[in-house]
Every structure is written in C-alpha cells, then in structure tokens.
C-alpha cells in the first residue's frame, strides 16, 4: 500500500516537474521572425533592403498616394474628385482637417520605410565587401526619396520664407529598437532636412552601380538630385545632375505610345526611359494611381475625372492628348490604366525638362541648349519644334508631359504660382502633422492653420 502511494506520488511529482519545463512556453512564430535574430548575415541585410523597397511601394507612399495627393492638392480646376473617401476629398478641396487619415498614413508609412532603411544602414558592417557599397547606396536613395516627399508635403516650401527657420520634419537616422523618451523627437528645420536629403543622394550616387536591375542606380540618385536642386533654385547643379543622367547613355526616350503602360492587367515592366519606378505585379505591390485615376473597367475606382480645362491644354496634334479615355461617366487619364503597371517615380523626359529650365534660368547650356532639350520632348509628342524658347514654353511643356505624375503642387510652389484662389504659400497647401502624432508626441509643433 505504502509502496503504491509512493509510486503514485513520484509519478505525480514527476509529471509536475516535467511539465514545469518552461520550454513548453517557448513557442516560436512561423510567419514572422524574432527581431533580435533577424539581422545576422549579409543575406539578412539584403532581405531587409528588399523590405525597404516593399515599404516604399506601400499604397500610402510611392505605391501611389504621395503622387495622387500632390495632384489633388495642387489641382487648379483641371481634375475633379468624384470619390467617396473622406481624406482625399478634403485634400482635393484644400480643406484638410488635423485628423485627415491620409496625412496620418503617409506619415506613418514613410517613417516606416525610413526605419527599414535605417536598419539597413545600421547593419552595413555585416554586408559582404562586394555588396556593401550598393546596399548603402540603395538604402540612402530610399531614405532621401522619402524625406523629400515628407518635407514637401508636411512643411513650408523651400521658396516660402526662411528654410533654416521653418520647421521641417523630424530627421530620424537611427533604427528604432525600443520606445523611450528619446522617441519623442522634435522637427528639424526645412534646411536641415534638405541638407540630409542632398547628402544621402550624393552619397548614394557615389555608392550605387550604374545598372542594378529594377532597383536604384547611380542614374536614379542623380535624377532625384536634379529634381531637388531645381526646386532649391540651384540651377547649375540641377543642369549638371540632369546631364549626368542623360549622358550616361543608359536611358533613352521611347515612342510616346510606349512611355506609359497601356496594357491591361499585365505585370509591370520598365521601359528604356524609366530611371526609377516602383514595381507592381499581380502578386505583390499596389498601384494606387490605378485605383484612383482609372475607371472601374480597368480595376480602378474611377474617383478622379479629368476636366476640359486640362484637356484643352493639348493642341490637336499633341499625341499626349490621346492618353485619355471615356468610360461613359467621364474622362480618365490612361497613364495609370494598367492596374499591375509600375509607378514611375523618375523618367528621362523630366531630366530634359529640368535641364532646359535650369539652363534657361541660369542662362547657360550645360549639356545642351534649352531649345534642343525642349524640342526633344516636343517632337516626341508629335509637335513641331520651337525656334525660340521661353520659360513659359518650358513650364507648359512640363505640365503636359508630366501631368498626373505627382509634380503639379511642387512646381506651383516652386514657381510661386497660385493654386486656384490660394497663394502658393497658403497653409492650406501643407498637410497637417497628424493629430494622433501630436497627441503621442508633445514635442512636435503643428503647422500653421491647423
């Protein structure tokens, strides 16, 4: 009897001890990995870099909405927002509220991208020597591109007041590992942010290879620098940077009907003209420009209609005037008709336009004369070449060539032009710092007008 009791107790105790083993509780996730063990090898860092591209391609970043919102907020009566979503409707009507959820989403997803890029840059030491320079260049390009988008959307324009005094956006250059008081950052000045952007892009241009599949290249960094310099009025630098892209010989203008992906439901491809584009396929990526600019027949919501005011800008022989279609409810742009098409961030035509404008304003002919550059764009569009060129010629050509590609608002601000009845420096043309963000971080200063 006593023996049995003893045995039973031993058994029971054994069971208790056995089960006390904590290993039962150490289950591991399968679809995610523990952040602590995520970056150990060069392959891990490169996977992280792919993650940065994926984040860059998020619908709220360069998956489309950054470009869409620059067109909606910068619209001068050439398009009409016919959608039901509240946030873009407020943007279109230039009456954003502090809780506009697009303002919050773009902010979050942009900083999410920056954080991944920062993670890559923080772990460059484990990348193999052969790849380190490229990886660094790609991460810096992505970080520079996103900061450029943020500074334009959430802060006063470079042309508005004193950039070294105007609040910009917080510069976060280290990866986030934990939440501390230091996470409650303040806004850097506009000038500081631009300095960082130029530094990132300059280093990226040095570090990047000339060719790099559909990822970023030396040319992409130079092209973005050209855009930044033009915006800052550094015309010689802009023309020089654009020339570096053009004369690299890696890109060429394609026939006008091939510039945009007019196929339907096909995986995106880059053309010879594309310098950098966000990749979209039917398996991954999202083309929010299709979502909002394309009609329901082509997988979109049909929210953005093109008004006659825009269509009337094209002369009859302008081939670009044919990049529109009517689905019965209204006119849509065909630029984003392929729902799996890539989103073009930088293409060669813009480089000619930048160089032409920069040279004209600078009274120089870096790379080529402004007339030659503008006529390249015109003749490709089926138009007769000009014999003389004015600034207005160039700006009008820019508007027609780059319509709905996310440059409208910033071109207007850069040229100090009105947006409808609003002056270029109206606070209504700047996104609010998201209210939620101000609530979570008392160190952030809200933009004027909110």
Smaller CB separation from another protein, 347 or 399: 347
Nearer to another protein, 22 or 387 (CB): 22
Contact region for another protein (CB under 8 A) — 103-111, 221-229, 252-260, 389-397?
Answer: 103-111
Site residues (CB under 8 A) for another protein, limited to 43-62: 44, 46-55, 57
Q: CA-CA distance, 72 to 77, in Å (whole number)?
A: 10
Contact 275, 268 (CB under 8 A): no
Of positions 82, 89, 108, 425, contacts another protein by CB under 8 A:
108
How many residues sit in the footprint of another protein (CB under 8 A)? 82
Of the candidate residues 176, 202, 365, 426, the single one contacting another protein (CB under 8 A): 176
CA distances to 76, 143, 166, 376, 383 from 414, in Å:
15, 22, 16, 24, 27
x/- binding map, residues 261-290, to another protein, per CB under 8 A?
Answer: ----x--x----------xxxxxxx-----
Residue 33 or 311 with smaller CB distance to another protein: 33
Residues 300-339 that bind another protein (CB under 8 A): 339
| CA-atom Rg of the chain in angstroms | 25
Compute the distance between CA of residue 289 and CA of residue 69 in angstroms, rounded to an integer: 10
Q: Which is nearer to another protein, 293 or 352 (CB)?
A: 293
Could you tell me the smallest distance in angstroms from the CB atom of residue 387 to another protein?
44
Alpha-carbon distance 53 to 285, whole Å? 10
For the record, the structure tokens of 322 come out as 């044919």
* Binding residues among 201-230 for another protein as defined by CB under 8 A: 214
Q: Does 111 bind another protein (CB under 8 A)?
A: yes
Span interacting with another protein, options 38-46, 366-374, 384-392, 398-406, rule CB under 8 A: 38-46
Per CB under 8 A, contacts with another protein among 417-446 are 434-437, 439-441, 444
Which residues have a Cβ under 8 Å from the Cβ of 450 and sit 6 or more positions away?
Answer: 96, 98, 427, 432, 433
- Do 105 and 157 touch, CB atoms closer than 8 A? no
Site for another protein in 180-199 (CB under 8 A): 183-185
Task: In angstroms, give the least distance from the CB of 211 to another protein.
Answer: 16
> Cα–Cα distance between 46 and 42 in angstroms, integer?
6
Shortest gap between Cβ of 284 and another protein (angstroms)?
5
- How many CA within 13 A on the CB side of residue 196? 24
Closer residue to another protein (CB): 93 or 416:
93
Name which of 358, 93, 403, 419 is nearest 235 in CA terms.
358
Strands (E), 218-312: 274-278, 304-306
* Cα 341 to Cα 323: distance, rounded to the nearest angstrom: 15
CB-nearer residue toward another protein: 19 or 387: 19
Residue 113 or 393 with smaller CB distance to another protein: 113
Tell me the C-alpha distance between 221 and 210, whole Å: 10
Cβ proximity to another protein, 125 vs 439, nearer residue: 439
């Amino acid at each position: 009897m006593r023996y049995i009791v003893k045995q039973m107790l031993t058994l029971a105790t054994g069971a208790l001890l056995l089960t006390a083993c904590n290993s039962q509780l150490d289950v591991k996730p399968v679809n995610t990995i523990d952040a602590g063990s995520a970056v150990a090898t060069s392959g891990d860092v490169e996977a992280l870099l792919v993650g940065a591209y994926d984040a860059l391609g998020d619908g709220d970043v360069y998956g489309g909405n950054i470009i869409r919102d620059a067109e909606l907020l910068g619209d001068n009566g050439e398009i009409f927002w016919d959608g039901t979503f509240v946030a873009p409707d407020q943007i279109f009507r230039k009456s954003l509220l502090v809780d506009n959820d697009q303002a919050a989403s773009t902010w979050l997803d942009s900083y999410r991208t920056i954080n991944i890029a920062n993670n890559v840059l923080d772990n460059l030491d484990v990348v193999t020597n052969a790849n380190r320079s490229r990886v660094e260049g790609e991460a810096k390009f992505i970080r520079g591109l996103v900061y450029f988008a943020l500074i334009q959307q959430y802060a006063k324009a470079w042309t508005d007041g004193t950039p070294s005094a105007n609040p910009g956006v917080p510069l976060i250059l280290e990866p986030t590992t934990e939440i501390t008081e230091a996470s409650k950052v303040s806004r850097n000045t506009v000038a500081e942010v631009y300095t960082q952007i130029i530094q990132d892009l300059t280093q990226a241009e040095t570090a990047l290879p000339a060719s790099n599949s559909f990822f970023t290249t030396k040319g992409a960094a130079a092209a973005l620098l050209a855009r930044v310099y033009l915006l800052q009025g550094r015309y010689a630098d802009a023309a020089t940077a654009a020339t570096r892209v053009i004369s690299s010989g890696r890109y060429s203008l394609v026939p006008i009907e091939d510039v945009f992906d007019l196929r339907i439901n096909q995986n995106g491809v880059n053309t010879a003209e594309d310098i950098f584009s966000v990749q979209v396929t039917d398996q991954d990526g999202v083309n929010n420009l299709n979502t909002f600019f394309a009609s329901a027949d082509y997988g979109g919501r049909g929210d953005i209609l093109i008004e006659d005011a825009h269509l009337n800008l094209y002369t009859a022989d302008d081939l670009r005037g044919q990049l529109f279609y009517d689905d019965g409810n209204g006119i849509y742009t065909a630029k984003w008709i392929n729902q799996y098409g890539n989103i073009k961030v930088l293409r060669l035509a813009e480089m000619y336009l930048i160089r032409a404008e920069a040279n004209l304003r600078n009274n120089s002919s870096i790379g080529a004369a402004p007339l030659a550059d503008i006529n390249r764009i015109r003749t490709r569009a089926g138009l007769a070449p000009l014999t003389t060129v004015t600034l207005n010629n160039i700006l009008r050509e820019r508007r027609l060539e780059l319509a709905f590609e996310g440059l409208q608002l910033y071109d207007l601000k850069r040229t100090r032009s009105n947006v409808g009845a609003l002056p270029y420096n109206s606070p209504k043309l700047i996104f609010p710092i998201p209210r939620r963000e101000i609530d979570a971080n008392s160190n952030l200063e809200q933009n004027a007008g909110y």
